[in-house]
Structure formats: structure tokens, C-alpha cells
Amino acid sequence: MVRNFFILLVLLSNLMLAQNKLNLIPYPQKVQLLEGEFVIPEIFVLSGDLPKEETEYFKKRIGSQLKFQYTQKGGEIHLTNSIIPPASGTDAEQKKEYYLIEISPKQIHIKSYTKQGYFLALQTLIQIIEQYKEEKKIPAMKIEDQPKFAWRGMHLDVCRHFFTVDEVKQYIDYLAMYKLNTFHWHLTDDQGWRIEIKKYPKLTQIGSKRKESMIGAYVDNTFDGKPYGPYFYTQEQIKDVVKYANERHITVVPEIEMPGHALAALSAYPELACTQGPFESATKWGVFDDVFCPKDETFTFLENVLDEVMKLFPSQYIHIGGDECPKTRWKECAHCQELIRKNNLKDEHGLQSYFIKRIEKYINSKGRKIIGWDEILEGGLAPNAAVMSWTGVNGGIEAAKAKHFAVMTPGAYCYFDHYQGDPQSEPNAFGGFTPLDKVYSYSPIPAELNAEQAQYILGVQANLWTEYILDFKQVQYMIFPRLMALSEVGWGTSDPKNYKDFEDRVISHFKILDKMNVNYAKSIYNISGKVIPSNNGIAYELSTSQNPNGIRYTLDGTVPTINSKTYQTSVSIPNSLTVKSAYFEDGRLKSAISSQQFTVSKSTGKKITLEQQPSENYSFGGAFTLVDGIIGNVKQLGKTWLGFQGKDVVATIDFGQKTDFSEIYFNTLENKGSWIHLAKSAKIFVSDDNKDFKIIMEIGKEDIQNAKGKIQLKLDKQNARYLKIMIENAGIIPSGNPGADSKAWLFVDEIGVN
């Protein structure tokens, strides 16, 4: 009988939870609904011993909806708390972000071990009040919560485009709302030096400006002709921002780039380079050969800079960049080559490790630690360094296996400068395709790590690079709502199987963002299209976050109206055509018009295999992307291209039966500033058994360059079941090019056969 009563209680609790669905982001670890309701009073009486700064923040956030009054006396108090410090140092670290909220019909009580835990509880309480303010009643409940990951971060690049102190503070407020606790401030790069260093005034006098800026897509290679800057933060402004973040229990981690991404600094102090210059802050985006030269005067300069930086930022970690450092100048520099010989270094990668280790030793001597992008692994990791794994997950895996801490921020999931909706209906972005559901699907602990190694994964971070983000409204657009997905991933309560539930909670939070006048992306309202194999061809699936019965579409290229075809099931694509679709509600258009052009050939929808897989950042759709009937847009490296770094494309298409054909086409890209090079060569093979292949054509580098990567091959008439195409990567980028000595990228779109 007792057992049955317990089961009944569980069922009733689940029913109450379903009826009173909490729109919390991130969702707490434990939620228990209780009997009764807390009636939101006309005047919210606050216990007089509540932590003052945090409570004043709470009042400000929710103050337009409630009136508040402090009391030191007894009687009815609506918000009380108890902060009980944990017994041991280990406990303190584990429990500093723990909180318990108990909402009874009489009052709301918060228990925590620290003010930080209390502050996080207030964020949850604010969201609960937002949800129930109209009803004036909050269900009684108990919430016990703490995050899974210690590092839950957002990055902001202020070098490519600058944002004011007030805008940076707004950014920090967004992090606080969703319980992120680390703000990574990218302060120096090739395109601008943004932090005042009193010992080196020319850094901001010269390095904080550039003569013009690149505009449009990178392949356009056009500039605005307008001077940019001088833009930088004074040390007083930096202190103000750090204090503001600290009040919200957010750690600010500064990034001072080295040894690469140094052009702005070299424009001010050219003597720190391997060559004489002159230099200027970069006007293009990308990677440049001129970097800091590892000589004593450079280290003196950097140590002096870091001294001033560490006085401004109390963070445990100082980010030293370490990414994308071409070795061209070091190879040609007599001093660098002598340094390699003198220190028995293997090569220039060893010299990079020498550089990072020397900087780390200095920062460690000041009681701090370094963190850097995963290229700091090159040549051997500095003894106490933490790694920020961005090129994929391998950097984090390597660091954790070597017992170094790592923050996971792989571009495929955590780069918010990527497109978040159909690139054709989104503002210009850097590339890639990282929609909300993909961010939400990320698991920061790689499967390759065992339990002991997994403890070295500090957490997760998303990055916002601002090459194509011109103002703060666009910053808002790119981070929202993806920041919400990151929040729940970092908290450890995300569940991709329940994505629809998360999406519903996101849509409920749009009301909060509307009140804050935040320019969030509404991409989830738009029609999402997915190409699938169907009956030896392809079909097009359409979906929306709303009722799918509201989708209308056309196949003749005309704009859909409420009277167009109603979407019911996937749309067959038997030949080349254009699908246009939109979402309608109450007879009115509620979404952008989505448009997708299909070019159908004999390879479209056929089975395809790849011998080597594309980079995670550019792998949307996998191998099928090469036979999905969609020609890639050269300005948008999002959904329609596969990207391979340092790898050849070896694709085999199975027509299913012997097939006649006499033409093959595919496209590759060239964008040397982003390390993207045309293919070196291509070979075509045929087979009837998928074992013995016969080569039928080969084209070289000159032919590919003459065609500008748009390859159309006329063949003698062929009849075969299998077609293999080998597209050779350019390999190591040669000297004189951005990214010299690094692996080139090869981008390929559709492989068409007629």
C-alpha cells in the first residue's frame, strides 16, 4: 500500500509539473512541485539581512513589476535567505554555485553557501516571476541546483569591430541572466589594439586605428575607404567593466594575442618584428605573416604589457592567444634560427612552444596561469597551461590526457559568428552553419576521455568574432537565442532528445528579450529545409518551430501565399526547380521567404561514401551534401559546402546500376586570406564492382586555376555503376601566403553527373 501511495505521489508530481511547466533556462538539476501557491504581494517584503549588492540587482531587474520594502523586524517576510559556508576548501569550490529555492504559500527562502550561489538563485527566481507575474500566483516548489561545469563562458572580439563600455556591460548582463560566469575579452589583434598600456602609449595612439575596413563577403575583396578608430578602453574604463562583472559574479579573462595576430602592435613598435616594416593595422580579415619576433626586447615588451594587464584583471587565467601563427618570418630570421639551434629546438613549432613557455613562466611568477587556443600544443605544451580547444575537440582531448585543463569551444558548435538559419535569408556571416539545435546538441566531455581525464574539462565557451558584425544590434542578433542553448549545455541539463521542450522555453523567453529591446534572431520561426534521399532521388523536408500546417510552398519560383500548396509531407524533387516556402499564421505571413534552388543530375540522391571526413566546422549534411542537388554559394560557406583541412576529397558514387554519362562538374573555392586554396589536381575513375577502378580523366593545377575552381569536364561516353573522384588538396600553404606552412583548406560542393 505504501509503495502504491508513493507511485501515486510521483504521478501526481509529474502531472503538476506538466501543468505548471517552468520556462527556466538553464533548466535546474532538480525541480519538485509542492502543494499550494505563493501569491505575489503588492509589496514584496525583503529580509534585512539579504546580501545587499545581489538583492539590489534583483530589485532593479524585476522592479518595474513589483514594489519592494526591506524589514529588520518579524512578521511577514516574502524573501529570506541563509548563507552557510561549507566545511572544507574542496567543498567550498564544489558548492560555491549551489543554491536551494523553497517557495511555500508563505514565503520564498533561498539557501546557498556563497553570495554567488544566492545570485544564481535570484536569476532563477526572476525567470519564475516573469512567467507567473500575470497570474500573480507561483506554484509552491523546491528547486535544488548547481552547474555541472565550472567554466561557462562567452567571448567577445572588440578588435575587428569595437563596442562601447555600455555595450560591453549589456553583454555581461546577458551572461548573468543565463548563469554564465566567464567573459573572455579579446582585446588585441591584427586589426586593432584596444587596451590602454601606459608604458607604451603608441599602442593606442597608432595601433587602435586602421585606414579602412573590409566589407561584404571575403571573396568580394572590397573596402569601405573609411578610417576606423582610434577606439580603445582606458584603464579606468577597464576597471569599471571588471567591477561591473564582479558584481554579477562573472570573471573577466583578458586576451593579449601572441606571438601571432600582432600587426596592430607592430604598427606602433615595428622593432618587435623580425623585419623592419613599416607595418599598419590590418584592413583585411584573416591571418598575416608578420608576428612577434622571439627576441629579448619583445619579451621585455610583453612582460611590461602583461604587468599592467594583470593589475587590471584579477582573473586566475590570462589568455595569451597562441593561435594561427605563421612561421614564415621565423624561417627567414637569422635570430630565430640561431635561437632554434641554441636551444636544441626541433623547428619553428618548437620555437612557438619556447615562446609560450617563456611567457607562461613569467605569468606563473606573478601567481597567475595561462590559457591559450589549441595551437599552443604545437611543439609541446607549457607545463601549467590550459587549452581552449577551438579547431575541434582534439586539442581538448590531448590536453586532458596530458592532465592539463581544457575549455571546449569547437567551432562546429560554439562559433556564434556562423550562420544560425538559412544563409540566404540571414545577414552576412563568417561562414559555417550552427543553428540553435546544433548548439544544444553539444556535449563538452569527449567520449574519448575516461572518468579521470574528463575531470580536466573545465567547461564550455562560445566565441563571437566580429569581422562581419558592425554594431551591437548585430551582436545581439548573433548571440540570441544561441546563448540560451550554451547556457543549458554548460549547466549540464541539456538533453537533445527533448529539444522541442527547450525550443518552447526559448520562445517564451523572447517576451523577456522584447521588453529589453534585444534584437534577437527569429531564425527558428523561419522554414528549415533538409534534403533527404528518396526513391533513388531526393526529397525536401520542410519544418518550423510552429505548427507545420502553417507552411505554404511553391515549386515554380513564385512567392508563396496563403493559397499556395499546404505542406504535408516531404516534397519530391524530380528535376531542377526552385522551392520557395514560408510560414503563415491567421492568414498572415509570419516568417521570411525561404528559397532553395535544385540542380538535379544523374548523381543526385545516389549513395556516396568519403574516404576522409570533412572538418566538423564545415560538415553539415556529411557526404550527402555532395549529391543533394544544391550548388554552393561562394559567399556562404554554410550548409552547401564541405570543408577539408589538409585532406583530399576521395568520393565514390554508386549509381545503383550501370549508367551512361559524359559530363562531370564540381566547384572548389579560393580564398587565400582564409587559407582556402583551389584543388591541386583531380582524377576521375570508373568501376563496375567497386574494387577495380579505371582512370578516365586527370586534370592539373593549371586547368583548375584557369577555370577558377568551376570544373566542368566533358568525357567520352561512359557506362559504369561506380564513379570515383579524387580531388587533391593544395597541401601545405607556401611562403608568401596567409597561413604559410599550415594545412590548406579545400572546399567542395556538388558533384554533378550528366
Catalytic residue IDs: 189, 261, 324
Q: What grid cell was written down for 610? A: 568519403
Those residues whose C-beta lies under 8 Å from the C-beta of residue 640, and which sit 6 or more positions away, are: 423, 625, 630, 631, 632, 633, 749, 750
Q: How close are the terminal C-alpha atoms of the chain, in Å?
A: 73
Integer Cα distance of 102 and 107 in angstroms: 8
Q: What grid cell was written down for 364? A: 606563473
Those residues whose C-beta lies under 8 Å from the C-beta of residue 91, and which sit 6 or more positions away, are: 113
Q: Which residues of 685-724 are buried (b: 16+ CB within 10 A; e: fewer)?
A: bbbeeeeebeebbebeeeebeeeebebebeeeebebbbbb
User: Is the dihedral angle over the CA atoms 262, 265, 268, 270 positive or is it negative?
Assistant: negative
Q: What grid cell was written down for 157? A: 572580439
Listing DSSP states for 586-608 in one string gives TTEE-SPPEEEEE---TTTT-EE
User: Is the dihedral angle over the CA atoms 136, 141, 144, 150 positive or is it negative?
Assistant: negative
Those residues whose C-beta lies under 8 Å from the C-beta of residue 92, and which sit 6 or more positions away, are: 85, 86, 113, 114
Cα 531 to chain centroid distance, Å, stands at: 25
Smallest Cα–Cα separation from 526: which of 475, 579, 590, 434?
590
- CB atoms inside a 10 Å sphere around CB 291: 30
**H or E element, residue 174:** helix 165-177
Going by the DSSP 8-state scheme, the letter that residue 680 receives in this structure is S
